[in-house]
Structure 1
Amino acid sequence: MAIPHIVDNRRAYLLALAAVLCWSTVASAFKLSLQAVSPLQLVTIAALTSTLLMAAVISWRRRWNLVPGAWQQNRPWYLVLGFCNPFLYYLVLFHAYDLLPAQQAQPLNYTWGILLALLSVPVLKQQLRRRDLVAALVCYSGVLVIVTRGQLLGLQFDQPLGVALALFSTLIWCCYWLLNTRIGGSAEINLLLSFLCGLPWLGAALMVQGDWQWPPLAGWLGAIYVGLFEMGIAFLLWQAAMMCCDNTARISNLIYLSPPLSLLLIALLVGERIHMATIVGLFLIMLGVAIQQGMLRRLIYRG
């Protein structure tokens, strides 16, 4: 799929909505796939699938001549990025999904945007704004509502390890993107090289585990789906949408459709009964992200 270079806002909306739809399905795909495969098997098959997809995209765009130069220029960074993603990030995230209901793991994963803003202060030397602190307070209050199922005074977590892993995955993802800012260049080339550096870590983990069992067909299909849509196609669709839109703010807000759509699919496909505490907590998390991005200020100013 070639990246368009002309402004076409209608096409941008369609591409962005397609990406959001892909992202909305992955929480259900994670949970259903983990019924048939282990977290390590899931991330390994998915990462291999995504690597092959990126190789196909680079071939389609005839950019293989750029790969050696990118590797020579940023080799140390790719080695670090490959350890973070896909190896560590998805392994931790899938273990969290294995322990938690999907309706809890999915909203917790959305707190990475707030954490990224906070980490940008010491790492990128950015200024800490008052709205960042307010956003963090609102966002993590939503986390407490979700993990305690609304019983805030008791502060009893059903799966504290799962909660810790879900929140730790957001830290890994933030570190990945902060490191990624140092590289720049072609997105698919960066993904290909970082995934190629991550696959040996996954292979080593499989050897240490020493208990590889051939997954059933449902496991293969689920893992391939995750590799194609979570790690690959959705990212490329969103990148294409950003390239053919005259104002990225017009489509960036569409990402807020993903969490409620995801909860709907979790109820329909996974069969989980969505708790009111999950809905309230997700609202607080999305409100915190909106505050952090200045959306409320823009709405008030327009009003």
Structure 2
Amino acid sequence: MKNQKQAMLYGLATVLLWSTVATAFKLALADLAPVQMLLVACSASIVVMAVALVIMGRWQQVFQLSKTQYLQSIGMGLINPCLYYFLLFGAFDRLPAQEAQPLNYTWALVLAYLSVPFLGQKLRRIDILAGLVCYAGVVVIATRGAVTSLNFSDPLGVSLALASTLVWASYWIIATRDTRDPVVGLFLNFLFGLPVIAAVCWYTVGFGFSGVGSVSAAIYIGVFEMGIAFILWSQAMKKAENTAKVSNLIFIAPFLSLVFIYFILGEVILPSTYIGLVLIIAGLWLQQKKVQARAQGLEHG
């Protein structure tokens, strides 16, 4: 049953959770290595998704897939959670939250560009304009306003953040051909990815988890960012009569995130962060307007 009011409430709840995760990332990384943080978060998310599948009556679907679909789960699990979160957490480990978080939001634009060769979509002038605006914001944030010098504050950190957007966009392009239930699929991806994460953790930094606050933050990330937020957003899309209105809610998250970053982490938000973030959101808004126009054209065509 479609219900736009419920869809907006689910969407707002998701956005609120997404707004807190940049802060949670930094709190977890205070005492944990990125791979330790990923191991704890991934384990917590698996438990949450298992409980959700039982509550939603979909648990049996976990055991009813084909051999090909289980193999697909292994492959997609290597991308998300393994590679994507290795890169993302690595970026947050090196960059201030106010820099890493806006850079991560450019994945939506990367998705639009990758959709051209892989999904056969057309690249329009508005896509190019959106890209120029968006990545101008990236340069402003990455150079902390010293645009003319092109002196990046942490080139490796910026590279990890941008690489994570490429991986995340690629994951969603692969997911367009995924016929599994979304929650079942994500649960299996994380379940098959967990042993790889555990092996890398054991081989590199070991299982010496320290800091109750950091471990708690990592559990929070797994429960809310990786688990509940995904389920809420799936419900929002399912209930929505107008998906564009729900999708536009995501533009609130990066600005709300800066509030948490300032008050909880105590980061002084630089003017360059505000300017860069506005440029990134403006670029994404241009891209979103094009997608919405296309969708409305299909509805009335």
Q: CA deviation at 1:296?
A: 11
Change (3 A) 1:230 1:71: farther
Report deviation, 1:209. Answer: 1.3
Match of 1:85 in 2: 80
| CA displacement, residues 138-167 of structure 1 (integer Å, 9 cap, x when unaligned) | 100110010111111111012111000000
Matches of 2:50 and 2:72 in 1, distance apart?
A: 19
**Cross-structure match for 2:119:** 124
> Which among 284, 290, 294 is matched to residue 289 of structure 2?
294
Q: Confirm or deny that 1:285 pairs with 2:280.
A: yes
Q: Which whole-Å CA distance do the structure 1 matches of 2:245 and 2:80 have between them?
A: 29
Q: CA offsets per residue over residues 172-214 of structure 1, 9 Å max, x none?
A: 1111111111113311100111011111110110221153213
AA partner of residue 45 (structure 1): V
Shift in CA distance, 144/196, structure 1 to aligned 2, threshold 3 Å: same
Structure-2 change in CA distance of 1:50 and 1:71 (3 Å)? farther
Does 2:132 match 1:171? no
- Between Structure 1 and Structure 2, how many residues are aligned? 293
Helix, strand or coil at the partner of 1:294: helix
CA displacement 1:30-80 (0-9 Å, x = unmatched): 011110211111111100111111111111122232223335342332111
Identity of aligned residues (%): 46
Where does residue 186 of structure 1 map in the other structure?
A: 181
1:245 paired to 2:240 = yes
2:222 is the counterpart of 1:232: no
For residue 208 of structure 2, give the secondary structure of its aligned residue in structure 1: coil
RMSD: 1.6
Task: Say yes or no: does 1:104 pair with 2:99.
Answer: yes
Query: Residue 201 of structure 2 is aligned with which of 206, 218, 243?
Result: 206
CA distance in 1, matches of 2:133, 2:82: 31
Equivalent residue number for residue 135 of structure 2 = 140
Runs of 4+ aligned structure 1 residues displaced above 6 Å come to 295-298
Contact 2:32 2:209 in 1 (8 A): no
Instruction: Mark the CA change 1:37 to 1:8 in structure 2 (over 3 Å): closer, same or farther.
Output: same
Cα distance change of structure 1 residues 71 and 82 upon mapping to structure 2, 3 Å threshold = farther
Q: Which has the higher mean CA deviation after the structures are superposed, 101-110 or 212-221?
A: 212-221
Q: TM-score, normalised by structure 2?
A: 0.93
8 A Cα contact 2:45 2:223, kept in partner: yes
Superposed counterparts of 1:155-166, under 5 Å: 155-166=150-161
Secondary structure of residue in 2 paired with 1:20:
helix
Q: How far does the alpha carbon of each residue in 1:120-147 deviate from its partner, in whole angstroms, 9 at most, with x for none?
A: 1111122112111111111001100101
One-letter amino acid of the structure 1 residue matched with residue 93 of structure 2: D
Bigger drift between 72-81 and 127-136 goes to: 72-81
